[in-house]
Amino acid sequence: MNRFFAATVIPGKTLALQPPGATKMFRLIQLHTDSGIPRIGVEPDGYVSARTALAHYRSRPAAYFGVGRFDHEGTLAEIILDRLCGPLGDCPRPASVVHARTYQRLCATCSLGLEVLTVPELARMLGIACRLAPVLARSGRHARLEVASPAGNRIAREFASHVHDPIWRLELCAELARDAGSVNGLLIGVGALTHRDVLDLYPRLCTLADELPASVREELTRATVRPLSPAGVAGLRMGLSHK
């Protein structure tokens, strides 16, 4: 018997899901496509906190897409994506994107050459707020949750509205030099730009490419040979090319 309540996702529309018997705020969800249309499945069993729901999710990561947070009216208000990379979560690197068709969570390395969605792009497609869960530490049986790089999250969140600011770009480059993990924020921020955004911001994107730490610029330049990868998208949008 299928325990999941499913509903079709209409991009840009609010999705109200009220599976019978579900009274708590957090529930495990599935995400798949049916004839090219996104569909969300919701398990009726609820949890009182995101941490509890994530703990149950991480016991069977291949079975679910993530955790849904519902409001008091039963409307799906937010989707929390786990950082475990791949269907089994056996990759040691944290996931930062999802496959555009299978919705599997992928890290920057595993997603190279694949068509992917950044978290902001996924949110726009579904019409539902999406965010990444805390990183799960991998240091033994008593591993604890650690917050993902706050710098990377801030970079992704502020990128579109701040990339024109030379002081912000200077601070961004300094952060990239200090924290290699924050490059994911750059990839997400650049990848989340609309085509119109890219046209409007292209001169600033090219300027930023010239200002990047050499190691980051070289990495993005090499990645342009894989134009569907997050790093490849970012590199091309910043005017880089591998010759």
Q: What is the pLDDT of residue 4?
A: 52
Q: What is the pLDDT of residue 222?
A: 86
Supply 154's token pair.
């801030």
Q: How many Å is the maximal CA-CA distance in the chain?
A: 59
| pTM for the full predicted model | 0.51
Q: What is the pLDDT of residue 20?
A: 43
- Please give the average pLDDT of every successive group of 10 residues along the chain, which has 243 residues: 49 51 72 76 82 82 80 84 71 83 80 84 90 62 42 79 94 87 77 87 95 90 76 88 76
Q: What is the pLDDT of residue 186?
A: 86
Tell me the torsion sign for CA atoms 240, 183, 67, 72.
negative
Q: Are 40 and 11 in contact (CB under 8 A)?
A: no
Q: What is the pLDDT of residue 91?
A: 67
Q: Are 211 and 174 in contact (CB under 8 A)?
A: no
Residue 33 CA to chain centroid, in angstroms?
Answer: 18
Hey, where are the domains in the chain? Answer: 1-148, 149-243
Strands (DSSP E) found in 95-209: 97-99, 105-106, 116-118, 129-132, 135-136, 145-146
Q: Are 95 and 83 in contact (CB under 8 A)?
A: yes
Q: What is the pLDDT of residue 17?
A: 54
Neighbours of 146 (CB within 10 A): 13
Q: What is the pLDDT of residue 120?
A: 92
Q: What is the pLDDT of residue 49?
A: 85
Q: What is the pLDDT of residue 148?
A: 44
